[in-house]
Amino acid sequence: MITTMPSANLPTFTLAELAKNHSSKKSCYVTMGTKVYDITEFLPDHPGGDDLILDYAGKDITEIIGDPQSHVHSDAAYEILDESLVGFLSSDDTPRPANGSANGSTNGVAKKSSVPNGKPTYEATGMSTAEDLSVETDIGNDFKTHKFIDLNKPMFMQVWRGRFSKEFYLKQVHRPRHYKGGDSAPLFGNFLEPLSKTAWWVVPTLWLPCISYGVWMASQGLSRENIAICFFSGIAIWTLVEYCLHRFLFHLDDYLPDNNVAITLHFLLHGIHHYLPMDRYRLVMPPTLFIVLATPFWKLAHTLFRSNWYVGTAVFCGGIFGYVCYDLTHYFLHHKKLPSFYQELKKYHLQHHFADYENGFGVTSRFWDRVFGTELPPLPQKSA
């Protein structure tokens, strides 16, 4: 095995130095064998959330990155590390493998490719694992190769003027890219650009006061017990609405008309999320789009419960609260470390992105996927 020795162009670090100066969000270094990597810039893009990496800041990650029970890391993860090499451990701190060899590779844990025979594991997306979602796309080469969208230019007009066939568009939009040129790839490139981007905290800040006001209005004509029944009924109804919207509106793929207007609308509504799934400012619904989609449900709730306006209002408020939970869950599944239950949900949702976008439509729950037969199968276990 070839051993990489310290280079004259790269510094050496001691473990004490790493623990003291490079174990925080501002400067996060990790080691693997003798090598030291600066992964500070990768923290926001880690599919498992930055907290998971920060637990190992200033420490060796050999065991965790090669642990099949924790998570199977693809070649992309190792490529990110290779690009982040900043130095080596000092000779005094060089780890000694149990077999007595002096190399500092991976303590006997082999790096296995999850892209066998040079072909992607999942042909529909061109990806193998969740880590692939965060590998920076070579924007220039990607555009030259696929002739789809140049991420250096506003995307909307490229889709509108592209005259793409439905078959070509669906194939490209479901092969995720990762933009690292700034906060988000430009969509409109003009005064409409801010309307297309929404920080996750805007959702609870904007809509929870509205929900509270609606509940107060309903309390003028309903008892607390009836409000609670109506409110939780609204949440339960939302889970079905969430599934139906995701499956039959956002993924209208097979039934999408093969024309420019339909393709552009599809891209704006959900295609952009599958094209750039790790864009943190286009993960939750912009308020303007939410109002457009919520208005028919307000009218529907008060049509179904027209005999009692207060009941319709309480049910609607419960549904909107369910939506808020959905949007926050969706954001955290992509970008945050979550409790064990949600870790499984995270794996499930990211599988929808990198493996099979035609199934797995539940975001906050798998329940309706199980009912309607669209549940994603467990991912194959791969040994490290």
- Give the model confidence (pLDDT) of 200-244 as tens digits: 999 999 999 999 999 999 999 999 999 999 999 999 999 999 999
Band of pLDDT at residue 110, cut at 50, 70 and 90:
very low
Domains, in order of start, for the chain: 12-93 (3.10.120.10), 139-372 (no CATH)
User: How far apart (Å, rounded) are the C-alpha atoms in residues 243 and 270?
Assistant: 14
- Calculate the alpha carbon distances from 49 to 60, 223, 245, 333 in Å: 18, 42, 27, 9
User: How far apart (Å, rounded) are the C-alpha atoms in residues 334 and 299?
Assistant: 33
Question: How would you classify the pairing of strands 29-32 and 85-89?
Answer: unpaired
Specify the residue for token string 């693809």. Answer: 74
Binding-site sequence positions for Zn(2+): 246, 251, 270, 273-274, 330, 334, 349, 352-353
Which whole number is the average pLDDT over 14-26? 88
Binding-site sequence positions: 46, 73, 246, 251, 270, 273-274, 330, 334, 349, 352-353
Given a contact cutoff of 8 angstroms between Cβ atoms, the answer to whether 344 and 381 are in contact is no
DSSP, collapsed to helix, strand or coil, labels residue 312 as helix
User: How far apart (Å, rounded) are the C-alpha atoms in residues 137 and 122?
Assistant: 18
% the chain with pLDDT above 90: 54
* Rg value, the chain, Cα: 24
pLDDT of residue 93: 66
* Number of alpha carbons in the 13 Å side-chain half-sphere of residue 94: 18
> Angle, nearest 10°, between helix axes 224-244 and 309-335?
50
pLDDT of residue 47: 79
Binding-site sequence positions for heme: 46, 73
pLDDT tens for 2-19 read: 344 444 456 788 888 888
User: How far apart (Å, rounded) are the C-alpha atoms in residues 206 and 211?
Assistant: 9
